[in-house]
Amino acid sequence: KAGVTQTPRYLIKTRGQQVTLSCSPISGHRSVSWYQQTPGQGLQFLFEYFSETQRNKGNFPGRFSGRQFSNSRSEMNVSTLELGDSALYLCASRAGSSGVREQYFGPGTRLTVT
60 binds another protein (CB under 8 A): no
The verdict on 92 binding another protein (CB under 8 A) reads yes
Residue with smaller CB distance to another protein, 14 or 98:
98
Q: Which is nearer to another protein, 14 or 59 (CB)?
A: 59
The burial class, CB within 10 Å (0-12 / 13-18 / 19+), for 9 is: exposed
Closer by beta carbon to another protein, 19 or else 50:
50
Selected range binding another protein among 13-21, 62-70, 74-82, 98-106, rule: CB under 8 A: 98-106
Determine the 3-state secondary structure of 83 from DSSP.
helix
Peptide bond into 107 cis (omega under 30): no
For residue 16, the minimal CB distance to another protein (Å) is: 27
Distance of alpha carbon 23 from alpha carbon 21, whole angstroms: 7
